[in-house]
Amino acid sequence: MPVDHYENFPVASVLCPPALRPAVVAIYRFARTADDIADEGDAGTEARLAELHAYRAALRTVLEGRPHTGRWAAVFDGLQRQIAAFGLPAQPLHDLLDAFEQDTRNPVYPDRASLFDYCRRSANPIGRLLLHLYGIGDQRSLAQSDAVCTALQLINFWQDLSVDLPRGRHYVADTDLAAHGLARQELAARQDDAHSAALVRSLCAWARQLMLEGAPLALSLPGRAGWELRLVVQGGLRVLEKIALMDHRVLNHRPAVKAWDAPLLLWRAARMSHNRAIKQ
């Protein structure tokens, strides 16, 4: 999973209610630390899996209400306090660790369904945990949150092709490659051409559709939470827009949202409404 993935979620931002900031920070630290175990440094696969196994054991300890005094004590002390304060559910936390374990094996994905399942465990738990903090748990909201989170994860993948491909990370499914007449080795060679651009265009369209399916959640969440999510949605859509402005040729260059995009994002977030399509 790209390290930048968790930066897509608002962490203790000015829009986050102060009472929730410690919980948001605790969730972020838990996820980011596990992400680093899975993806950073020079350790081999088995060593990473052993570390993640120990990390999961620490999670089980604090979920049972017992203190964790070993490694990562600062991470789990903060998380345990927030579990007690907010009754954070265990399953999303375990799902994240399942995804990190999968990351260590660096698999390829045969089809979109397998990639979608990865996102279910790598991205969607964050949104569900944040909704839990706001006391929201109805099925429609959860489904919309899943759509936004999966879209953000996919957008991050297509944004980071120039970063992930040299590292041997392959998030483009075999069926998508085949549909555009490309072999995985050809994509890894990073030759931007009409075939690869068409591939990226279709992948971005998939991510955009998911984002638009989930975006109405931002209009139903109250106060700061809704505005926070509006900006997240518009940030993801802006990345897709920048990829399009590059004619979808991103195998060697990474598009990014910059500070000067903020006024545009705020304007677009303010214009979102139930009565018109959420798009530029």
Residues 232 and 102 in one domain: no
Q: Do 128 and 169 fall within a single domain? A: yes
DSSP 40: S
More confident residue, 151 or 2: 151
- State both tokens at 96: 């994240």
Contact 278, 217 (CB under 8 A): no
Ordered alpha helix ranges (H), the chain: 21-39, 45-63, 73-86, 90-105, 112-122, 124-133, 139-159, 161-164, 174-179, 184-188, 194-214, 216-220, 223-245, 262-271
89 within domain boundaries: yes
Tell me whether residue 90 is in a domain.
Answer: yes
Answer yes or no: do 148 and 204 share one domain.
Answer: yes
Query: Which string of DSSP letters, residue by residue, matches 232-264?
Result: HHHHHHHHHHHHHHTTT--SS------GGGHHH
Residue range of the domain that includes 49: 14-106
* 67 and 168 part of one domain: no
Give the residue from 59, 90, 106 where a domain finishes.
106
**Average pLDDT in the 86-114 region?**
95
- Could you tell me if 89 and 205 lie in one domain? no
Residues 70 and 147 in one domain: no
Report how many domains make up the chain.
2
For residue 40, the model assigns a pLDDT of 74
Of 59, 81, 106, the residue at which a domain comes to its end is: 106
Asked if 39 and 127 sit in the same domain, the reply is no
User: Does 7 reside within a domain?
Assistant: no
pLDDT above 60 for 277:
no
CATH code of the domain containing 229: 1.10.600.10
Of 87, 106, 125, the position where a domain reaches its end is 106
Q: Which pLDDT band, with edges at 50, 70 and 90, does 208 fall under?
A: very high
**What was the pLDDT predicted at 241?**
96
**What is the pLDDT, as a whole number, of residue 44?**
87
